[in-house]
Chains A and B, each alone.
Chain A
Amino acid sequence: MTIENLYRRMLLIRRFEEKVKQLYQAGEITGAIHLYIGQEAIAVGVCSGLKDSDYVFSTHRGHGHYLAKTSDIAGAMAELMGRRSGCSHGYGGSMHMFNPVKGFMGGNGIVGGGIPLALGAAFAAKYKKTDSISVSFFGDGASNQGTFHECLNLAALKRLPFIAVCENNRYAATTPVTHATIDEDMTKRAAAYGIPALNVDGNDVEKVIEAIITAIKYVRSGKGPFLLDCKTYRIEPHCGIIADIRPEKERAEWQAPEKDPLNCIISRYPEIFNNGKITVLENEINTDIENAVMFARQSLFPDIKEFTEEFKVK
């Protein structure tokens, strides 16, 4: 994928999430909303190496993963607004976006809950002798769940085509990673289960791509699982309803232009991103997002009769 396209995808996620935040504050989107701002390089980098036939299992903070894997802006926005035209027909919501045709197998409301499911897709790929692989996104919080450890062991044991992508954004809800473990280096945990792994600067999309290419090559060749430990930071609080208690200084450091996943690409490639180019991209993305909002607003809510019939609601 070209540098321009990588940037464009990250910009889409950034502006989409900003729009979601705005609509959430206006009351047009309700519920628990976990924004992906600041982590865009990981979703875009990882998904740039995947095919539609590869599986992605996401988390509670999954809008970015969804957009990076599917490019379905309208389906995502309509889902957040609870509409029938949403990617999960309005039945799932922010944490449960699905698009199986594009290999997007759902977010998850339970921290660490999706890792075993992702393992199952890897198992199915091997069982059916396809060349598909399965990617499980999870955070530093999930790395302390039993499912993480059980699944690394099982994935290695059965040599499953499975890539574990840890997005260490430094906080599990409000608990700093340093309060949750004495060693946050996930590559060591991978090593304990005999799984190769790489530490990755999760805010640099080119570094993420370099790592995922290595991982995919290894996994697709049938050697077994791989782990990427991506260091990043979420710019927004854990979710819409929880106050942000993180130190100002820390937040400012991670938002500095050289750390920001979008700005660092712009400054690295000034010949591509002259002012005119950035304006064009911003305008195109803005139009796409406004169209998605319009589409969602004009869509109907799910039909209760259809719901009760399809799901035999009593």
Chain B
Amino acid sequence: MRELTFIDAMNEALAEEMERDKNVFIIGEDVDINGGVWKETNGLLERFGHERVIGTPISESAFSGLAAGAAMCGLRPVLEFMYMDFVGVAMDQLCNQIAKLHLMSGGQIKIPITIRMCGTGNGTREGAQHSQSLEAWFAHVPGFKVVMPATAKDAKGLLKSSIRDDSPVIFIENRNIYYDKEPVPEGEFMVPIGEAEIVQTGSDVTVIAVGYARRKVITALKTLDKSIGVELIDPRTVDPLDMNLILHSLAKTGKIMIVHEAHAECGIGAEIVRRIASEGFDYLDCPPIVLGGKNIPTPFSPPLEDFVLISPEEIAKNIVALAGNQIY
């Protein structure tokens, strides 16, 4: 299979969707004349023109609302934040307007908008305001779907599904994997929103790896004794969660661990455990584990940043402990 980077796979998805539907347009900072700071919109201006590839001043509230208003009038915007951290200044437009307009209008108005949270994640020494995974903020607000692709293939397939969805979709991209080449099928394909993937099967322990944590878990698994049967699941969408698949795996293994880059406190892991407590409590042989970042803003200094993030070593240690029932 051919290989593409995460960035190029998304770029291809954008081009295909813009070609297919003239109502799709892109709006955000730096997306036009320079093809985006991550090169995520490279070549699209040349192909689709300034009418459909809209660079903006640094006015996140205004251009988020502009995208929403355009969606209210039948367009399908792809709205882009350069870093997920920058969404703070536009939270009213996202959470009070975009998430609620469909309901407040009595269902008369749809908001088919894809909100790309570019440059998400930690580990690149950019300090506390450029080092967050904020998926739980949006999963908490009713009215959004929240997707977190961790492979180039899923990035392309989920971006296409997001653009075609009639609801607002928060599309979270981890910057650490932007430029790695991975297999991506030729031609058009979609990855459905709300469908998890079993990355590898196993019968001893279920590990749910959210977003970039998938990479860390795979690194951890390479260091482990092959006799531990780990079933690795990437939810790919964190809202709505594919609980059927998660519970099905838990029923088999009886042991579950959830790993994400975001702080463990009030994160997606906590939500998965809540759902298990109410929908699959009897499947549990032992308490579930949630591994995430420490509950502190990310410090700059490399040893400190590494300390607050979850590491493949810790993941490996916890899998061994969970498999051996040594976690009480």
Residues of A near B66 (CB, < 8 A) are 116-117, 119-120, 123, 151, 154
- Taking the nearest CB of chain A, how far is it from the CB of B169, in angstroms? 15
Q: Are the C-beta atoms of B106 and A118 separated by less than 8 Å? A: no
Residues of B near A86 (CB, < 8 A) are 106
- Say if the beta carbon of A168 comes within 8 Å of chain B: no
Interface stretch of the complex, out of A4-12, A98-106, A199-207: A98-106
Q: Are the C-beta atoms of B96 and A109 separated by less than 8 Å? A: yes
- Say if the beta carbon of A310 comes within 8 Å of chain B: yes
Q: Are the C-beta atoms of A120 and B105 separated by less than 8 Å? A: no
Other-chain contact of A311, B63, B64, B103 (Cβ < 8 Å): B103
* Complex CA–CA separation, A86 to B59 (angstroms): 35
Residues of B near A55 (CB, < 8 A) are 73
- Say if the beta carbon of A44 comes within 8 Å of chain B: no
Residues of B near A106 (CB, < 8 A) are 101, 104-105, 109
- Taking the nearest CB of chain A, how far is it from the CB of B48, in angstroms? 12
Please provide the chain A residues from 66 to 113 with a CB less than 8 Å away from any CB of chain B in the complex: 86-92, 96, 98, 100, 105-106, 108-110, 113
- Say if the beta carbon of B107 comes within 8 Å of chain A: yes
Nearest A residue to B63, CB-CB? A154
Residues of A near B92 (CB, < 8 A) are 110, 113, 147
Other-chain contact of A117, B25, B54, B68, B75 (Cβ < 8 Å): B68
Q: Are the C-beta atoms of A90 and B59 separated by less than 8 Å? A: no
- Say if the beta carbon of A157 comes within 8 Å of chain B: yes
Please provide the chain A residues from 288 to 313 with a CB less than 8 Å away from any CB of chain B in the complex: 310-311
- Taking the nearest CB of chain B, how far is it from the CB of A112, in angstroms? 8
- Say if the beta carbon of B93 comes within 8 Å of chain A: yes
Bin chain A's interface residue count: 35 or more
* Complex CA–CA separation, A116 to B59 (angstroms): 10
Nearest A residue to B69, CB-CB? A120
Given contacts A88-B105, A92-B104, A92-B106, contact A120 B71 (CB under 8 A): yes
* Complex CA–CA separation, A90 to B56 (angstroms): 37
- Say if the beta carbon of B187 comes within 8 Å of chain A: no
* Complex CA–CA separation, A311 to B101 (angstroms): 12
Q: Are the C-beta atoms of B57 and A121 separated by less than 8 Å? A: no
Given contacts A113-B96, A121-B72, contact A150 B62 (CB under 8 A): yes
Please provide the chain A residues from 109 to 134 with a CB less than 8 Å away from any CB of chain B in the complex: 109-110, 113-125, 127-128, 134
Bin chain B's interface residue count: 20 to 34
Q: Are the C-beta atoms of A120 and B68 separated by less than 8 Å? A: yes
Other-chain contact of B51, A91, A127, A150 (Cβ < 8 Å): A127
Q: Are the C-beta atoms of A91 and B69 separated by less than 8 Å? A: no
* Complex CA–CA separation, A85 to B59 (angstroms): 38
- Say if the beta carbon of A27 comes within 8 Å of chain B: no
- Say if the beta carbon of A153 comes within 8 Å of chain B: yes
Other-chain contact of A98, B56, B74, B108 (Cβ < 8 Å): B108
* Complex CA–CA separation, A294 to B324 (angstroms): 70
Residues of B near A127 (CB, < 8 A) are 25, 51, 70, 75
Residues of B near A153 (CB, < 8 A) are 57, 59, 62
- Say if the beta carbon of B67 comes within 8 Å of chain A: yes
- Say if the beta carbon of A276 comes within 8 Å of chain B: no
- Say if the beta carbon of A247 comes within 8 Å of chain B: no
- Say if the beta carbon of A146 comes within 8 Å of chain B: yes
- Say if the beta carbon of B97 comes within 8 Å of chain A: yes
- Taking the nearest CB of chain B, how far is it from the CB of A260, in angstroms? 33
Other-chain contact of B105, A98, A118, A134, A146 (Cβ < 8 Å): A98
Q: Are the C-beta atoms of A157 and B57 separated by less than 8 Å? A: yes
Q: Are the C-beta atoms of B96 and A116 separated by less than 8 Å? A: no
- Taking the nearest CB of chain B, how far is it from the CB of A267, in angstroms? 41
* Complex CA–CA separation, A87 to B104 (angstroms): 10
Task: Give 19 A-B contacts (CB < 8 Å), ordered by A residue.
Answer: A89-B106, A89-B108, A98-B105, A105-B109, A108-B97, A113-B97, A115-B62, A117-B69, A117-B72, A119-B62, A119-B69, A121-B70, A121-B73, A127-B25, A127-B70, A150-B62, A151-B62, A154-B63, A311-B107
**CB-based closest 8 A-B pairs:** A120-B69, A116-B65, A89-B106, A150-B62, A124-B73, A150-B59, A117-B69, A98-B105
